[in-house]
Structure formats: C-alpha cells, structure tokens
Amino acid sequence: MKKAKIYLPTKSAMQSGLGKSDKWVIEFEVKNTGINPLMGWESSSDTLSEVKLEFSSKELAIDYAKKNKIDFELIDQHKRKVIKKSYADNFIK
C-alpha cells in the first residue's frame, strides 16, 4: 500500500513573501533508498519518490488520497507568530 504525507509547505529561506505557499501537497514516502554506485548519490528505484501533487485545499488532497486508496499522514499547518518591531526599539532598551 502506498504511504504519503499531506502538508502545506513552508516558504523557502530565499523568499520574503508568502507567494505560492497556499497549495497543499501530497508527497509519497520512499522505502527502498540506496547509494548509487556510479555517482554516490542517494537514489531509489521507486518512481513515486519523484511525484508531488498540489491541491488548492486540504479537503481536495484528502479526498484524492481516499479515492485512490492511499494511506496518508496529515501534517497540519502551524500559525505564524508575527512580532511587530520598530526601528526605535533598538535605542529604547
């Protein structure tokens, strides 16, 4: 049986905004990884390791997984903690 995780990806370190971070992703887990003898890279013969499916909502991703009989783990999103700062705070304390 296929095993996957459903999550909302975080922004990369190279982004300052939250653009393109509203899509839910299904990513399949890889079981048989090994070292490629030619290049020394980690590789797998399972092609599902290369598949990432994007959905506009969490419900659509869950429905897709249930419809295709995919065992999944749901990783809920964390709320961002925004701390408002002022330049003047550097000199007050």
Q: Tens of pLDDT along 4-43?
A: 999 998 877 776 776 767 899 999 987 777 787 888 887 7
The answer to whether the predicted template modeling score (pTM) of the entire model surpasses 0.75 is no
| Domains of the chain: residue spans and CATH | 3-11+22-92 (3.30.160)
Contacts 24+ apart (CB under 8 A), 61-66: 61/6, 61/24, 61/25, 61/26, 62/6, 64/26, 65/4, 65/6, 65/26
Contact indicator for 49, 28 with CB cutoff of 8 Å: yes
